A and B are shown apart, each in its own frame.
Chain A
Amino acid sequence: MARIELDLAHSYQRHPHSEADYALLPLQITFEDGGAYALLGPSGCGKTTMLNIISGLVTPSRGHVRFDGRDRTHDSPQARNIAQVFQFPVIYDTMTVGENLAFPLRNRRMPSDQIRQRVHHIAGLLELTGQLNQRAANLPADAKQKISLGRGLVRPDVSAVLFDEPLTVIDPQLKWELRRKLKQIHQELGLTLIYVTHDQIEAMTFADSVLVMARGRVVQQGSPAELFERPRHTFVGHFIGSPGMNLVPVHVHPDGTLQLQGQGHGQGHGQVQGPSLAHTDGRRLPEGPLTLGLRPEYLRFAAEPQPGSVAAEVTRVRHMGISQLLSAVAGGHEFKAYLPADAAAPAPGARVHLVLLDAHTCFYQNEELIS
């Protein structure tokens, strides 16, 4: 178990020229001992690279990896004492399930009675006890992945356990169960867990702290609630949530009023000045162009104009079982808003007033959160 500090940059090219050549741009991150972390981001954002750097499968082109203050940058995965589970099941075909689970322990010369005890403990947690004597090669994919997970968790003294999208091959029903198991194992063993995924629900339910990554950068680290309430970057607002945050360009006038920057609505010419928003809340905003962000969960609307509202036309209402999703257009921008399932939704074509200014509204300058 260890506290892991990264201070590095990495490029797979020998002579990187531009930012685009870097898989990971210069970053500094600390993973505290015993924490459950998720690296969340779209494909190609550098999350697997970061994981492989932590485990030692990849050596960063610049900077250091420290475990409890000790420089481990050039140590092998073995020396770092890391466990890692990969996206697709890796099992040793000729071994039984039990031998597969025991393999990392045998390689480290653990006494056989202790090995047996550990293997039984982990097999019990993952419900593999009945299959210990079966040959691993003959099992279905999800059982194989459970074996891979088990091999990652079987060593009691690891610095950290890293997961690289480990539940990709598992069907949704079992996914929930395994995620709950991992959480339970985390609480029982107090291991440091780092979990890579592109699935926000997976990240949010698993981790205490989520690192959202985009284009080789960590754009925000925080608890699931922070990521939801106060996305520090428009990317986070857009990426987290389903659908993501409503993000629209606004202009702040010297008198403090806000104006929605409209968009030519199928007319092919430049910007149309949108309706003006009365600046009601107490926040001071810098003059000039900004981006306004408000989650669909917090976007309210009213039949009459209200402080901080903008006139819009309802285009579509979709019933999604537990809620309704309303789409409305104002100044050429589409806004999404959630309604309770039993609320009376306005019909498409109806005029409504969307309340854009509210305690939950976030403002972004150059994609970064302000105030």
Chain B
Amino acid sequence: MSVVVKPVNQKAWWLIVPVILCVAFSAIIPLMTVVNYSVQDIIGPGRAVFVGTEWFAEIMRNEDLLSALLRQLMFSMAVLLIEIPLGVLLALSMPERGWRASAVLVIVALSLLIPWNVVGTIWQIFGRTDIGLLGNLLVGLGLDYSYSGNPVQAWLTVLLMDVWHWTPLVALLAYAGLRAIPEAYYQAASIDGASKWAVFRYIQLPKMRGVLMIAVLLRFMDSFMIYTEPFVLTGGGPGSSTTFLSQFLTQMAVGQFDVGPAAAFSLIYFLIILLFCFLLYNWMMRVGTQDKGGER
């Protein structure tokens, strides 16, 4: 029996050094500073006390934070529930080819090109009851509309703004997915006598799985971290009805300088997003791909 002696060569480690450095500077080091803050009480420059999990325990008791979290979850769910079906519907009704397709694509993509704080400003004016088109119209219809006075209306206005701003992204992704379906599928479906609904259910939707997953993940992450637009539109009010998580955190960290609890919650915030994306990804990858029993 011969023994193959492999020469030991550790030089390959050098090849992954650039990656380790990149990841360290882009993710690990910033994250570790947050971890560092979350377990210490910083009393002054150079004076810090290790407090263990105290900040975590404290923020878990913070009613305002929990209600901001709840508000945020409801908002993100509403965003997904509205924007994904609406985007798909929009994509289905867009022209397939020709100059109309190009024109519609440009128009649909317009709202995506506007900076976020400008979006907030646009809607702030749009919703004003004195000079804004939307506000004036609603008041003219006899509705008692005010996004700065009524919490429910403020919340709905922020939601509407997000739908206006981001549904086109979903639509563009879904449109790309639709265009990638070979013509033969539609021909086969037509031969098989499939209804429009069956074509959607059994061809278009399954073929859009990949892009829709990206759309859901992007829209979830983005909406869960929403900051600029409601900040510009309502400033988080009235009361705290449109104070979403990131704004709450910013107030806590920068406004009140409660760096410890803010850091602790940042970590939890991060983990929520990570966990949710992980669950969503796994669910969407798995749904509709398994065999239904029987022999293999």
Contact = CB atoms under 8 A, between A and B. Distances in A.
B187 A86 contact: yes
B296 to A, nearest CB: 7
A135 B202 CA distance: 13
A103 B291 contact: no
Given A92-B203, A134-B296, A84 B289 contact: no
A143 B291 CA distance: 15
B250 to A, nearest CB: 44
Contacts of A57: 187, 190-191
Contacts of B7: none
B198 A107 contact: yes
B290 interface: yes
Interface string A94-112: 1110000001100110000
A107 B195 contact: yes
A134 B194 CA distance: 22
7 tightest CB-CB pairs across the interface, nearest first?
Answer: A133-B294, A107-B193, A90-B188, A104-B192, A94-B288, A92-B202, A93-B206
Contacts of A87: 184
Interface in A123-171: 130, 132-135, 137-138, 148, 151-152
A2 to B, nearest CB: 16
A78 B189 CA distance: 10
B255 to A, nearest CB: 50
A83 B190 CA distance: 10
A138 B291 contact: yes
A133 B288 CA distance: 13
A135 B190 contact: no
Interface of B: 182, 184-185, 187-188, 190-195, 198, 202-203, 206-207, 288-296
B93 to A, nearest CB: 21
A157 B182 CA distance: 28
Interface of A: 52, 55, 57, 76-78, 82-84, 86-88, 90, 92-96, 103-104, 107-108, 130, 132-135, 137-138, 148, 151-152
Contact of B207 (A93, A103, A134): A93
Contact of B191 (A55, A92, A137): A55
Given A133-B294, A134-B291, A151 B207 contact: no
24 contacts: A52-B187, A76-B190, A77-B191, A78-B191, A84-B191, A86-B184, A86-B188, A88-B182, A90-B184, A90-B185, A90-B188, A92-B203, A92-B206, A93-B288, A95-B202, A104-B193, A107-B193, A107-B198, A133-B292, A134-B291, A135-B290, A135-B292, A148-B188, A151-B192
A84 B92 CA distance: 26
Contact of A107 (B182, B184, B194, B206): B194
B294 A134 contact: yes
B188 to A, nearest CB: 4
Which of B185, B195, B291 has most chain A Cβ within 10 Å? B291
Given A90-B185, A107-B198, A78 B290 contact: no
Contacts of A133: 291-295
B294 A108 contact: no
Query: Which secondary structure dominates where chain B touches chain A?
Result: loop
A148 B290 CA distance: 20
A4 to B, nearest CB: 16
Nearest to B202: A92
Given A77-B190, A133-B291, A94 B296 contact: no
Contacts of B192: 103-104, 107, 151
Given A90-B185, A107-B195, A107-B198, A96 B291 contact: yes
B29 to A, nearest CB: 43
Given A86-B184, A133-B293, 7 more contacts: A57-B190, A86-B187, A88-B184, A93-B207, A93-B288, A108-B193, A134-B291
A133 to B, nearest CB: 3
A57 B195 CA distance: 16
Contacts of B193: 78, 104, 107-108
Contacts of B185: 90
A279 to B, nearest CB: 55
A95 B288 CA distance: 8
A57 to B, nearest CB: 5
B289 A137 contact: yes
A84 B194 CA distance: 14
A49 to B, nearest CB: 13
A9 to B, nearest CB: 22
B92 to A, nearest CB: 18
Nearest to A133: B294
B289 to A, nearest CB: 7
Which of B191, B193, B203 has most chain A Cβ within 10 Å? B191
Contacts of A83: 191
A151 B185 CA distance: 13
A125 to B, nearest CB: 19
A135 B188 contact: no
A135 B182 CA distance: 21
Contacts of B206: 92-94
B168 to A, nearest CB: 27
A166 to B, nearest CB: 12
B195 to A, nearest CB: 7
A318 B273 CA distance: 71
A12 B236 CA distance: 59
A90 B182 CA distance: 9
Given A94-B288, A133-B291, A78 B184 contact: no
B203 A132 contact: no
Nearest to B290: A135
B191 A135 contact: no
A319 B230 CA distance: 83
A152 B187 CA distance: 13
B201 to A, nearest CB: 8
Contacts of B195: 107
B132 to A, nearest CB: 46
Which of A76, A78, A87, A132 has most chain B Cβ within 10 Å? A78
A90 B189 CA distance: 9
Contacts of A107: 192-195, 198
